[in-house]
Amino acid sequence: NKWWTRYLALEQSHPRRAKLVMFAAWSFIVGSAGFMAFLCILALTLPSLDQLEKPQYDLPTQVYDRNGKLITEFYTKRRVLIPYEKVPPRMIQALLSIEDNRFYYHFGVDPSRIVQAIVIDLVKMSFVQGASTLTQQTAKTFLLSTEKKIIRKMKEALLAVKMERRFTKEEIL
């Protein structure tokens, strides 16, 4: 193995540097394994996707008179549900161009968008750029809280991947 041969040569010529390289390699391996174990444990705490099969919406309460005529509505959020087929294609295009223009090309999480957001945030020295996909936003809205914590963001990403495996893109939209 070329890598091992190089390491042995480094160990003979620069023993301290070789130890540092080995320490860095093992730290990376152990750290990666630990992070993967943490993600697996975190995945066990995720809410069920069954709630998305038949989601509960805050729809207005409608009051009718005895003849069936609508008198008034009570609501905190005025939502009207329409099936995907009745949404104008331009509306879908507008949503995707504003929120997630790579929606049909990612698996629930968009790594290139995350890297871009990190770079912009580092340049601005503040959290100014979001990296959530529409799938992640759906996971947050229906299944998680809106608290601003890294754990919630990680759960959101894990849920988004699960959602992409279970639902079609149209169902997610």
| pLDDT, tens digit, 9 for 90 and up, residues 60-110 | 778 888 898 989 887 766 667 788 899 999 999 999 999 999 999 999 999
Give the pLDDT of residue 57.
64
Phi, psi for 88 (deg, rounded to 5): -60, 135
**pLDDT score for 70:** 87
- State the pLDDT at residue 125: 84
For residue 72, how many other CB atoms are within 10 A of its CB? 9
**What is the percent of the chain where pLDDT is above 90?**
24
| pLDDT higher than threshold 70 for residue 55 | no
Cα–Cα dist 119/139, whole Å? 25
Q: What is the reported pLDDT for 7?
A: 81
pLDDT at 5: 84
d(CA 132, CA 127): 13
Q: Is residue 125 within 8 Å of 105, Cβ to Cβ?
A: no
Q: What angle do CA 89, 91, 93 make, to 5 degrees?
A: 70
Does residue 138 contact residue 167 with C-beta atoms inside 8 Å? no
| Residue 56 binned pLDDT confidence (cut-offs 50, 70, 90) | low
For 144-161, what is the mean pLDDT?
82
**Stretch 114-133: mean pLDDT:** 85
Residues ≥6 apart with Cβ < 8 Å to 39: 154, 158
**Tens of pLDDT, residues 4-31:** 888 888 888 888 888 888 899 889 999 9
Given this model, what pLDDT does residue 58 score? 66
Average pLDDT over residues 136-150: 79
Euclidean distance between CA atoms 171 and 88, whole angstroms: 15
Query: SS3 of 61, please?
Result: strand
Q: What is the mean pLDDT of residues 114-119?
A: 88
